[in-house]
Amino acid sequence: MHSIKFSNWEEFKSDLVKTLLTSSGRLSIQDFLFRGQADSKWKLYSSFDRIEKDKSKYDLLLETFTNVCQTYNFNEDLFSKNDSQLVGAFAQHYGLPTRLLDWTTSPYFAAFFAFASAVSIKGKVCTVWAINKESEALKRHKGLKFISLSTNKYNYRMKNQLGHFTLSEHTEDSIDEFDTSLVKATSIDDLLWKVDINYTNPREVLSDLEIMGITHSFAYPDIEGYIEEAIYKTGLKR
């Protein structure tokens, strides 16, 4: 895993692309996906791996969820596709633990998710993770899949967020732990970059992102997103 540190938001905006491409040797920022986290100490856990050690239960969970939904004739079109990744991506946004981890093609959307969460915690450093879709180490060793769903009609949040997923098929609990094993197995360190951003006031960053059109209501274009934006703009504390 590689580490990049920026002393402030302005430095991140101006230098991220050049720094990441120089560090990785890649020619295009499109080779990467990004994920934002409010605390630089947090690992890259999927919601399932965070709570369950027995990975075999994942397929059972998806099967049980599908059966329950079909019993009540919920969203029959979605479940008729017989696509567990599509079902998992849809259900994850409503609280189902999955082995899918959300990423976006935009480092600015990733930053939004990090700083939006940072409003409610006392911290000084947010992290934007960058993962290389063209990793040679991953091609040789496997253990992690990149998922780009062919349709977004069931998942309008993912469409607005420029969303993609990784699907963990490794035995480690987090992707950063898997990356450590991957480097040892292949002697190639070209999968993960941890980009830390120092800040003093996350609301200043979010105001800048709002000018770019990135808000709670755009990221979550439904009643939940509108509620979150109202709470944020009112200044209520969680």
What mean pLDDT comes out for the span 135-147?
A: 91
Q: What residues have CB less than 8 Å from 228, skipping those under 6 apart?
A: 216, 217, 220
- pTM for this model (two decimals): 0.85
| Confidence (pLDDT) at 235 | 82
pLDDT tens for 91-137 read 887 889 999 998 999 999 999 999 999 998 888 999 999 999 999 99
Q: Are 167 and 145 in contact (CB under 8 A)?
A: yes
DSSP H/E element including 33: strand 32-37
| Confidence (pLDDT) at 170 | 87
The first and second tokens of residue 15, run together, are 């230098």
Q: Are 179 and 192 in contact (CB under 8 A)?
A: yes
Give residue limits of the domains in the chain: 2-45+100-234
pLDDT tens for 42-80 read 999 889 988 998 988 999 999 999 999 989 988 777 777
Compute the distance between CA of residue 93 and CA of residue 26 in angstroms, rounded to an integer.
Answer: 32
